[in-house]
Amino acid sequence: MPSTAVVWFRRDLRVHDHPALAAAAEGHDRVVPLFVLDERLLHGRFESGPRTAFMLGSLRALDAELRRRGGALCVRSGRPEEVVAQVAAAVGAEAVHWTSDVSPFARRRDDAVTAALRDAGVHGRPHGGNHCADVSLPRTKAGRPMTVFTPFWKAWERLERRDVLAAPERIRLPPGLAPGSLPDGPRLEDELPAPFCAPGEPAGRAALDAWLDGPVDRYADRHDDLIGGTSGLSPHLRWGSISAREVEARARERGGEGAAAFVRQLAWRDFYAHVLLMHPGNARLEFQARYRDLQWDDDDELLQAWCDGRTGYPLVDAGMRQLAASGWMHNRARMVVGSFLTKNLHLDWRRGEWWFGRMLLDGEPAQNNGNWQWIASTGVDPAPYFRRMFNPVLQQQKFDPGGVYVRRWVPELAGVPDDRLAEPWTMSAGQQRAAGCVIGRDYPEPVVDHAIERRAALERYRAAGSA
Ligand SMILES: Cc1cc2nc3c(=O)[nH]c(=O)nc-3n(C[C@H](O)[C@H](O)[C@H](O)COP(=O)(O)OP(=O)(O)OC[C@H]3O[C@@H](n4cnc5c(N)ncnc54)[C@H](O)[C@@H]3O)c2cc1C
């Protein structure tokens, strides 16, 4: 009697370096690659048309990779704790393999599936595969979970690594299995005017090859370049269309200063996964209890201006428009718009997290939450709040001195001279006319005064911190 296993795919949409798939293919005669469309996720707290479209594209690519190896993706809809056990029973599976995850939602879901499988007499087998290393392991000398990046990184460097795995050569489905089908939409090109990248494993692997073939060497010096300085791999890492472990291994193989700096960023990804795994309450609340009473304003108009990229601060607006158009934003711009939301508009970081969660192709709970709490100065890896309070004008002058990024995303500023581009409201009426950009008509007045609101934010943080 041939043995059968189910591989339950979630955010690990690839065939290369996939420990759960490799274990199923090695240990069993037949394998059922399963994906469960879960309405709670598709229409949950961070419902996202762009990300759903990217996921569907990644799933189509996964189906093609599986078919090339004799298999197919089996698609079902419903609650995983019911559907996974039903499929396992229907195909007579001995085991269900999956890649473990860290968010509170994912862990509750996995516990429910494990219990349902136990009741059905099927083994539930979680594997690593989403991160470079086992993010559950690092501890401080006192045996506590880690909350500061640098010691985490040093501990992470010493953690054992598993070998990078080849894709299975053949996938044998049980006879008579009906694969089911993926919904037609939403499609990426309908959701975003200028999608940041194409979904799916072949696109992810091609992007990784291209990155490691040269640009990575300049990463240490160029990662703050708002165009082209970084790998752009985050949507593929988010959906697992490339494996973080393989990315790390290949970058280390490449070697050099750029690759080392790049690998350190992958450690940030593992760090925030560790943090959310160890502190699930962070998903809703400030990690630092003293900031849970921080006073936030409740101004929907300001929030809307920020989401639309109409704040009157060109770098902020360029970042927000890049996000809305492409589903991605450069990290430097994310920090600037995050600081602006929390420390100039005084809006709750959760509102920024929500909007990013809706729009980012790479949006995921651990990274989005960890980074929002970082920029709001409420999270782990603490630094005095005034250190993460960015001046959008100075940031633009430093990181986009020629205005290429701002002009790309805020075309109404195209004719503004370089020396006014970070503060277009300082142009005289004549200069505005000459630039074809009248402030208040073609481009908004600044919605707030950075210097004034910075002082107000300092006051609020000081008050909350000493309460
Ligand atoms: C407010 C805010 C929200 C963010 N939300 C997310 C999110 O939802 N998902 C997400 O993947 N990243 C998030 N980031 C982190 C970072 O901006 C992106 O990972 C990065 O811009 C992705 O671009 P890249 O792939 O070109 O990065 P590269 O610079 O090429 O870095 C390589 C990889 O390292 C990881 N990495 C880099 N920087 C960080 C970081 N600060 N934190 C964690 N991992 C990092 C990413 O996986 C990235 O793909 C957020 C940052 C901020 C400031």
Q: Is 371 in the pocket of ligand 1 (CB under 6 A)?
A: yes
Domain with CATH 3.40.50.620 in the chain: 4-129
Cα angle, residue 9 at apex, residues 89 and 108 outer, rounded to 5°: 80
* Ligand 1 pocket, residue 250 CB under 6 Å: no
In this prediction, residues 160-170 reach a mean pLDDT of 98
Q: What was the pLDDT predicted at 39?
A: 85
Q: Is 375 in the pocket of ligand 1 (CB under 6 A)?
A: yes
The pLDDT tens digits for 369-410 are 999 999 999 999 888 888 889 999 999 999 999 999 999 999
Q: Say if ligand 1 is within 6 A of residue 130 CB.
A: no
Mean pLDDT rounded to a whole number for the chain: 96
Of 274, 331, 358, 361, the residue with max ligand 1 atoms within 8 A of its CB, to mutate for a pocket test, comes to 331
Residues of the chain with CATH 1.25.40.80: 131-162+201-278
What Cα–Cα distance (Å) separates residue 108 from each residue in 97, 113, 182, 274? 17, 9, 25, 17
CATH-assigned architecture of domain 289-466: Orthogonal Bundle (1.10)
Q: Measured in angstroms, how far is the CA atom of residue 331 from the centroid of ligand 1?
A: 6
Residues 189-245: tens digit of each pLDDT: 999 999 999 999 999 999 999 999 999 999 999 999 999 999 999 999 999 999 999
Give the per-residue pLDDT at 357: 95
368 touches ligand 1 (CB under 6 Å): yes
102-113: average pLDDT: 96
Name the residue of 362, 368, 399 to mutate for ligand 1: max ligand atoms within 8 A of Cβ: 362
CB 424 near ligand 1, within 6 Å: no
Helices 365-375 and 257-278: crossing angle, nearest 10°? Answer: 100
pLDDT of residue 108: 96
Alpha helices in 360-417 (DSSP H): 365-375, 392-399, 404-409
Check pocket membership of 265 for ligand 1, CB cut-off 6 A: yes
Q: Residue 465 — pLDDT band, cuts 50, 70, 90? A: confident
Specify the fold of 131-162+201-278.
1.25.40
Confidence class for position 270, pLDDT limits 50, 70, 90:
very high
Residues of the chain with CATH 1.10.579.10: 289-466
Burial 380-391 (b: 16+ CB within 10 A, else e): bbeeebeebbbb
Residue 467 pLDDT: 65
Residues 107 and 391: their CA atoms lie apart, in Å, by: 39
User: How confident is the model over 285-342, as pLDDT tens digits?
Assistant: 999 999 999 999 999 999 999 999 999 999 999 999 999 999 999 999 999 999 999 9
What is the pLDDT averaged over residues 149-164? 98
Name the β-bridge partners of 443: 439
- Residue nearest atom 19 in ligand 1 by C-alpha distance: 234
4-129: CATH, from 3.90.226.10, 3.30.70.2860, 3.40.50.620, 3.30.1330.10: 3.40.50.620
